[in-house]
């Protein structure tokens, strides 16, 4: 596979490939006015406006929200174990817990999807992804045949999901504006973008972070209510399945590799006993970070990234031209399983990432990109990492996790071919025991 060309498309020659393939029609389908779908200058302006919402400083402020949602999860597990119930459906448990986190952060609503099976955020999130025939056609059209969306009158979200999320945002915005209610969450930041057009700069930046530079004209352009709803919706969707799948896969690998799980627990014990539990101490869990990186290599929640060629592009060193309008699919999963790039690709080896952020610093081109790369990489990457590490560290500081079914311990996992993002085919059961 030509990983140099992939690097050119995503990073180096981004100017010819800056758009995703999702069709946009903000008038007829307002939820398409979101960051993942928007194109060209409109996307660029919005990306600049939203980027300060995802800095380490903002995440630090949101950390207590994440942590309190994770506490609901560990209390639920504790309660069940005390009642003699120590086996859990891994995927559903983390989907519910993650819905608590993301609905709290993106919408400012404190849900309890773990104890309430009929919670509407959970139900509507599931209804967006569940592989019914209608949803499969919708996903196929939006990702691969976007020109058919308008003629076939196919909207980005099913009607009931669209109505639920847009009405929820309207109610939340009305309430916050009437009462001047403030909270450290994305909704508060989106309201600042609605009312003043920009977010203030962060005082402290982490290594590798840059201050966003606004041009004075775009700085003052404000978001309207539909745009606020579209961004809250894409933050919710962008993390609903991806995050819970990532937690699920990582925990399954730690349950299959008990020696690695033990090493992770030792690191958690050491870091939390000396530094306490905080945004910074979770960041300092370096071996857990390697495990997360390796899990995202084996199981990239987004196994395929699509891009549209926006300007004729001559592939360097050849006579081949990619013409404007061509849709391109970049196979993240296949590249991250290529034995010429990653030795023993089906094995779970976190040590690959000890000295290299990509798992193989000798490889050429772009070989490891579970969050995409370049100017359009996943805007929620930092938050995803903190969320996964907070959940796993809270769990493994109290419990040990085992797989129930022999088949899942010995055999490679199979994937649900009807689902996007990447999801295990089976409902995998985990046994959780107090340490």
Distance CA 424, CA 263 (A): 25
- The reply to whether 371 sits near ligand HEM by the rule CB under 6 A is yes
At 166 the three-state DSSP class reads helix
- The reply to whether 377 sits near ligand HEM by the rule CB under 6 A is yes
Per rule CB under 6 A, count of chain residues that contact ligand HEM: 25
Instruction: Quote the least distance from Cβ 370 to ligand HEM, whole Å.
Output: 5
Sign of the torsion angle spanned by Cα atoms 401, 403, 404, 406: negative
Tokens standing for 238? 């962008």
Complex with ligand HEM: residue 246 or 261, whichever CB lies closer: 246
Interface with ligand HEM (CB under 6 A), residue from 252, 384, 394, 419: 384
Our CA angle for 350, 351, 354, nearest 5°, is 110
Instruction: Quote the least distance from Cβ 346 to ligand HEM, whole Å.
Output: 20
Strand-strand pairing, 327-330 and 321-322: unpaired
| Binders of ligand HEM in range 286-325 (CB under 6 A) | 301-302, 305
- The reply to whether 246 sits near ligand HEM by the rule CB under 6 A is yes
Complex with ligand HEM: residue 206 or 405, whichever CB lies closer: 206
Instruction: Quote the least distance from Cβ 79 to ligand HEM, whole Å.
Output: 28
Tokens standing for 257? 């590799």
Picking from 165, 185, 169, the residue whose alpha carbon sits closest to that of residue 177 is 169
Picking from 130, 70, 59, the residue whose alpha carbon sits closest to that of residue 423 is 130
Picking from 272, 267, 313, the residue whose alpha carbon sits closest to that of residue 286 is 267
Instruction: Quote the least distance from Cβ 133 to ligand HEM, whole Å.
Output: 26
Contacts of residue 278, Cβ cutoff 8 Å, sequence gap at least 6: 63
Residue 291 is assigned to a ligand binding site: no
Helix H segments across 368-419? 381-398, 406-410
Instruction: Quote the least distance from Cβ 301 to ligand HEM, whole Å.
Output: 4
- The reply to whether 239 sits near ligand HEM by the rule CB under 6 A is yes
Picking from 116, 225, 112, the residue whose alpha carbon sits closest to that of residue 165 is 225
Instruction: Quote the least distance from Cβ 77 to ligand HEM, whole Å.
Output: 22
Interface with ligand HEM (CB under 6 A), residue from 62, 379, 395, 432: 379
87-89 β-sheet, strand order: 87-89, 429-434, 399-403
For the beta carbon of residue 320, count every other beta carbon within 10 angstroms.
Answer: 10
- The reply to whether 52 sits near ligand HEM by the rule CB under 6 A is no
- Applying CB under 6 A, the span of 272-280, 351-359, 379-387, 401-409 interacting with ligand HEM comes to 379-387
- The reply to whether 47 sits near ligand HEM by the rule CB under 6 A is yes
Instruction: Quote the least distance from Cβ 9 to ligand HEM, whole Å.
Output: 10
Binding region for ligand HEM (CB under 6 A): 10, 20, 35-36, 47, 234-235, 238-239, 242-243, 246, 301-302, 305, 370-372, 376-380, 383-384
List the binding residues: 378
List the binding residues for heme: 378
């Amino acid at each position: 596979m030509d990983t140099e060309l992939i690097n050119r498309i995503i990073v180096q020659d981004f100017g010819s490939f800056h758009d995703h393939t999702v069709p946009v029609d903000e008038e007829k389908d307002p939820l398409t006015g979101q960051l993942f779908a928007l194109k060209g200058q409109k996307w660029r302006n919005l990306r600049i406006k939203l980027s300060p919402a995802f800095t380490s400083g903002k995440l630090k402020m949101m950390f207590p929200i994440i942590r309190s949602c994770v506490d609901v999860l560990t209390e639920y597990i504790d309660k069940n174990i005390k009642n003699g119930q120590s086996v859990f459906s891994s995927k559903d448990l983390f989907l519910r817990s993650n819905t608590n986190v993301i609905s709290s952060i993106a919408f400012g609503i404190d849900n309890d999807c773990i104890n309430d099976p009929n919670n509407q955020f959970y139900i509507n999130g599931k209804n967006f992804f569940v592989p019914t025939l209608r949803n499969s056609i919708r996903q196929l059209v939006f990702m691969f045949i976007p020109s058919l969306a308008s003629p076939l009158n196919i909207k980005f979200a099913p009607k009931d999901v669209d109505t639920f999320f847009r009405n929820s945002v309207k109610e939340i915005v009305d309430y916050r504006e009437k009462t001047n209610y403030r909270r450290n969450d994305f909704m508060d930041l989106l309201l600042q973008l609605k009312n003043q057009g920009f977010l203030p700069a962060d005082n402290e930046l982490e290594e590798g972070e840059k201050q966003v530079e606004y041009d004075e004209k775009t700085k003052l352009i404000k978001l309207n209510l539909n745009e606020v709803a579209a961004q809250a919706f894409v933050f919710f969707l962008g993390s609903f399945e991806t995050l819970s799948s990532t937690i699920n896969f990582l925990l399954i690998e730690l349950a299959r590799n008990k020696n690695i799980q033990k090493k992770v627990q030792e690191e958690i014990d050491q870091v939390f006993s000396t530094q306490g539990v905080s945004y910074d101490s979770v960041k300092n869990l370096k071996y857990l970070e390697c495990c997360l990186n390796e899990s995202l290599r084996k199981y990239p929640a987004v196994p395929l990234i699509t891009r549209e060629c926006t300007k004729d592009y001559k592939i360097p060193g050849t006579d081949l031209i990619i013409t404007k309008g061509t849709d391109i699919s970049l196979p993240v999963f296949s590249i991250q399983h290529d034995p010429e790039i990653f030795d023993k690709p089906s094995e779970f080896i976190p040590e690959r990432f000890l000295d290299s952020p990509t798992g193989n610093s000798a490889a050429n081109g772009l070989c490891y990109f579970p969050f995409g790369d370049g100017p359009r990489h996943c805007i929620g990457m930092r938050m995803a990492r903190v969320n996964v590490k907070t959940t796993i560290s809270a769990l493994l500081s109290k419990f040990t996790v085992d797989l129930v079914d022999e088949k899942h311990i010995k055999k490679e996992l199979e994937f649900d071919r009807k689902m996007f993002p990447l999801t295990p085919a089976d409902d995998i059961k985990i046994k959780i025991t107090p340490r």
